[in-house]
Structure formats: C-alpha cells, structure tokens
C-alpha cells in the first residue's frame, strides 16, 4: 500500500490550530482529529478524518478511550528505515502518521480555578501523553508539536522539503519537558491531597520568566523561573512600572526585603535592603515616617539598595527617595505624582506588587540548591515559640541541673529571666528588633528602638563580632536601644558589650550552657532579658 502523508491533531489549546492545519493541507497532509478539535477544524471548512475511521472503533467511556489503539500507535512508532516495520504495517493495513500536534487536558487551569478532586482527576490526560511520547520516541520519522509557538517553524520546513532532523530533536525535547511538568503538577497535587509534605521522590515545575544579562557576576549565565502558579505578594507577581530589567542580584536581594516586610502586616513599614540583608528598617504612622526612620537607621548602606514598602508611595516619600541612588522600589501602589518624581531617575526600577503584605502560602517551601542535591524545608513562619504566652510578662521557670562532671548549673524556660522585666517601650522595641533579626543573615544581631533599627550586625562567624558590628553601626544611638540575637549567647561577652553601649534590654532564644553567666551579667547591669525559646538562623 502507498503510505499517505497524515497528521494527527488533537489539542485543548486551539490557539492557531486552524491556520496550522490549513498549512498542513497545503503541504499535502490528511488531517486526523478527535472530539472538539475535529469539530473546530470542520467548522473552518477543513476535511477531517475522524479517529474512529482510523481505529475502526468508536470513541467510548465519555472520551476516555479515543486514540489508545494499535492503528494509531503503530503508525507513530514504525521506523521508516526498518523494512520489517514497514512490512508489518503493509500486512496490517496501517498507515504511518508523520506529524502529531497535541497538547494536553488543561490540568493546570483546572487546579487554578479551585476545582474539586473528581474534576481534577478527570482532567488528567492519558491518550495525549501516550501519543506525544510515542511520536517523540520515533523522532527520526515523526514531527511532534506540543507548543503553538512552533507551528510556523514546522510549516516553513515542510514547505521547503521536510522537517529537519535538528528540528525534530528539538521538538522531541519539548515533548518530554512538557510531560515532565504535567506529571509534576499532578503528583504534587496528589501529594498535597494526601498530606504528604516531603515525598520520597519529588519534582518541581517552573517556567521561564526571563533571561538574565548575567548571574551574580558577569561571567555567570543566569535565568529567572516562575513557579507554575504565581503566588500573591511574590516577585513573580510584580508589575514593573519603570526601569531596565531586573538582574539576578536584584531579584535575590529584593526577595530578602519582601520576606522581612511581611512581618509587619498592615503597619506602615519600610525595609531598606542590601545584598539580601536589611540595612535599615522603620515603621511609623505613615509611609513617609517609616521611610525616614529606615533611611536614618543607616544612610550610608542604603545607597544603591532596595526599598520594600507596604503602603502607597506618595509625593513626599518619593521626593525623599530621589535624594539618593536607589536600585529598586517595591510597593503596592504609587500616586501619579510619586511616579512622575521617581521616573526622573533613569536607573531606578519601580515595581508594583499589589498584595505585597500577603503571607506565604502553606504549600510554599524554602529550597536551596547544593551541588549534587537539594535542601527543602518549611519556611520559618513562627516569631516566638509559644505565641499564646506573653513572654515579656511571664517569669521564666528556673531549674538547677547537675552536669556530667558533677557541677550544677541553672536552666531557664521561656519568659523573663532577669530580675527586671522590660518596660512597655522596651517590649515594643524588642518585638520590632526580633522581627528584623529573623530575616538577617546569621550570625545576626539587631539593635533597635521603637519603630526603627539603630544598628545591624550580620553574617559573622561568631556572635561577639556581630554584636560589636551592630553596636559600632549604631554609634550613639546604641544607648537606650534593645538588642535581638538570632541564637543564644554562648558566653556573657555580648552582654558585656551591651553594658558598655548603654543597651537596656535583650531578646534571645536562650538554651546555652552559659545562660546563667549571661543572666547574672544582665542582673548586675540592670538589663532586662527575655528568652523566647526559638532561634532564627538564616543562611
């Protein structure tokens, strides 16, 4: 039998499919199709061979079984260069299929609209993945298209004698990338339905958002991928209003600012960030007041930094921002006048993130790639270990324990561990500073007052260096400030630095074998100290 040029077309996304099929017909192809695709093509005046004419079997089970048939898959998988394959097709009266154009049931869209479990399962495609994988396996002989963006390229090559082997290999790659993402969405959805947090095997689906000019350094290539579902309050949901494209470092640094900003809810807050670390944080009654406090916290480091703001940027705030060089401003809104002012700086980037204060979704995970593996953890969502307990008013439980060498030492529970409890103003400053230290690279120390940081020490290899760095940055402002430490004091030396600087209260996790020495040093100096029970390492 003489083999006819045939294309099998069955798509859920019908973008451009009519024009594509008209082009195939011009190239001498017969069109085989199914269901809604067949109807759309017939309505456009195209002659279509129904799939049942090929299989000799009716579509059944509400369309669940249409293309799962030897007459289809033999036509896809037969190697044209293999005489035995072709002889078997001849004997079985099966025609080859040279082009396959298929995209899959809209599982992602079904999830996005919040469909129930039954509807989601019904939108898991079976025949589609089977066909495109079969066609892709036989890439030498079959051109398989899953992306409408490739229609024109395929038609151009067909019109010039046939689809090249290089193009077929590229289309093969796109098939397996497409099905990998599709199956990833399904498996992760099913895991979530079963409450499986950390599966034994896992895949994550991302799609390219943009190419970067380079990575952290000019000799590194880089790209930014979005998760398949855009999350509220994330950089993926940002709308860029002004400025050149974001760089790799811009995105990484901006994310650090965003995560800290979310700690303040609806309280007007501004986070100034540099190299993913806060360099100045302020809150206030207005965005302007919050910005001025953040700026005044460290007017040197904020230069060339990133601002995350949880309220609308107004004319007054924009005027102040324009007095220095800022890389990026992120805010939920800008007044028209503020935009006019900020756009006077050609090198600033302005991002609008409407839900900038939205908390992270419970299904989101913190991931870090290491060479040869992937670290995955839940986000650090807690602030204080026992949030129902007022640790600032509760006296910590103290117990005496005997160590292995027979010595005795005191251990402290959560709460006030010193003779003096913090004042109301100190409590406010401690809570503020504790939020900031949670998002500062370890080892981290934050010194602050009500509504503003006064000094930040971050990323040091020992805690006393972080404390000295924060105190040095604070200068005279250290006096009357409070100190927050992301982990316990291993020695009383940090307390001794607090005494010298005039710091009046300390908030830290507690849990060191040297806690008693730190408590005694605080009591001697009249410093209030509170243990909250949980640390906030950030690496």
Catalytic site positions: 137, 275
Listed in sequence order, the DSSP H helices in 303-452 are 315-321, 336-342, 424-437
Q: Which residue is associated with the tokens 């260069």?
A: 81
Asked if residues 535 and 513 have their Cβ atoms less than 8 Å apart, the reply is no
Number of neighbouring beta carbons within 10 Å of residue 133: 16
CA max distance for the chain: 101
What DSSP character marks residue 482?
E
Closest alpha carbon to 240 in 330, 342, 322: 330
Q: Give 4-23 as a DSSP string.
A: PPEEEEEESS-TTHHHHHHH
Distances from the Cα of 192 to the Cα of 107, 117, 186, 202, angstroms: 15, 11, 10, 12
| Residue 27 to residue 98: CA distance in whole angstroms | 12
| Tokens, residue 298 | 């460290």
Given a contact cutoff of 8 angstroms between Cβ atoms, the answer to whether 96 and 141 are in contact is yes
Distance of CA 223 to the CA centre of its chain: 14
| Nearest alpha carbon to residue 280 among 301, 294, 260, 296 | 294
Sign for the CA dihedral angle at 369, 375, 376, 378 comes to negative
Q: Are 329 and 321 in contact (CB under 8 A)?
A: yes
CA distances from 465 to 444, 489, 500, 503 (A): 9, 12, 15, 16
CA-based radius of gyration for the chain? 31
The helix/strand count (H/E) of the chain reads as 18, 23
Structural tokens at position 534: 């949980």
**Of 283, 287, 261, residue with least CA distance to 450:** 283
Alpha-carbon distance 208 to 437, whole Å?
33
> By C-alpha distance, which of 493, 259, 463 is closest to 380?
259
Percent composition of the chain: helix, strand, coil (DSSP 3-state, to 5)? 35, 20, 40
* Cβ 419 vs Cβ 533: under 8 Å: no
Cα dihedral: 483, 484, 489, 494 (round 10): -20
210: left (phi over 0), alpha (psi -120 to 50) or beta: beta
Q: Are 260 and 271 in contact (CB under 8 A)?
A: yes
Measured CA to CA, the distance from residue 363 to residue 424 in angstroms comes to: 36
């Amino acid at each position: 039998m003489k083999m006819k040029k045939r294309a099998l077309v069955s798509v859920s996304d019908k973008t451009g499919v009519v024009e594509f099929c008209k082009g195939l017909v011009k190239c001498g192809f017969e069109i085989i199709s199914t269901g809604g695709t067949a109807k759309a093509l017939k309505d456009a005046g195209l002659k279509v061979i129904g799939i049942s004419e090929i299989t000799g079997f009716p579509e059944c089970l509400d369309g669940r079984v249409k293309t799962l048939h030897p007459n289809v898959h033999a036509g896809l998988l037969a190697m044209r260069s293999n005489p035995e394959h072709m002889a078997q097709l001849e004997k079985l009266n099966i025609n080859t299929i040279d082009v396959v154009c298929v995209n899959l049931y809209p599982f992602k869209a079904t999830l996005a609209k919040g469909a129930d479990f039954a509807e989601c399962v019904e939108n898991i495609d079976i025949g589609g993945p089977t066909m495109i994988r079969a066609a892709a396996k036989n890439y030498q002989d079959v051109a398989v298209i899953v992306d409408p963006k490739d229609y024109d390229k395929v038609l151009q090559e067909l019109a010039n004698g046939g689809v090249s082997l290089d193009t077929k290999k590229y289309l093969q790659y796109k098939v397996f990338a497409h099905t990998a993402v599709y199956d990833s969405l399904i498996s992760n959805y099913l895991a979530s339905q079963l409450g499986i947090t950390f599966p034994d095997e896992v895949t994550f689906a991302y799609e390219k958002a943009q190419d970067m000019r380079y990575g952290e350094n000019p000799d590194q290539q880089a790209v930014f991928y979005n998760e398949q579902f855009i999350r509220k309050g994330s950089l993926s949901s940002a709308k860029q209003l002004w400025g050149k494209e974001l760089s790799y470092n811009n995105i990484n640094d901006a994310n650090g600012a965003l995560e800290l900003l979310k700690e303040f809810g609806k309280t007007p807050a501004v986070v100034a960030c540099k190299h993913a670390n806060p360099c100045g944080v302020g809150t206030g009654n207005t965005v302007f007041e919050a910005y001025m406090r953040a700026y005044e916290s460290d007017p040197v480091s904020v230069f060339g930094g990133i601002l995350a703001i949880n309220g609308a940027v107004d004319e007054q705030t924009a005027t102040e921002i324009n007095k220095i060089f800022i890389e990026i401003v992120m805010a939920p809104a800008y007044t028209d006048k503020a935009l006019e002012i900020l756009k006077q700086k050609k090198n600033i980037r302005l991002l609008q993130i409407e839900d900038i204060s939205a908390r992270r979704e419970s299904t989101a995970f913190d991931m870090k790639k290491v060479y040869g593996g992937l670290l995955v953890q839940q986000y650090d969502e807690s602030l204080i270990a026992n949030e129902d307990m007022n640790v600032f008013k509760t006296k910590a439980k103290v117990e005496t324990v005997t160590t292995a060498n027979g010595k005795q030492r005191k251990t402290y529970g959560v709460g006030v561990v010193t003779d003096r409890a913090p004042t109301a103003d100190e409590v406010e400053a401690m809570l503020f500073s504790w939020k900031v230290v949670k998002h500062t690279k370890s080892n981290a120390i934050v010194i602050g007052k009500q509504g503003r940081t006064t000094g930040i020490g971050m990323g040091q290899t020992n805690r006393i260096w972080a404390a000295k760095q924060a105190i040095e940055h604070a200068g005279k402002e250290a006096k009357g400030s409070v100190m927050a430490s992301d982990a316990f004091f291993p020695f009383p030396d940090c307390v001794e630095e607090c005494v010298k600087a005039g710091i009046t209260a300390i908030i830290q996790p507690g849990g060191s074998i040297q806690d008693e020495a730190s408590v005694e040093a605080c009591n001697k100096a009249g410093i209030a100290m509170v243990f909250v029970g949980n640390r906030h390492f950030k690496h």
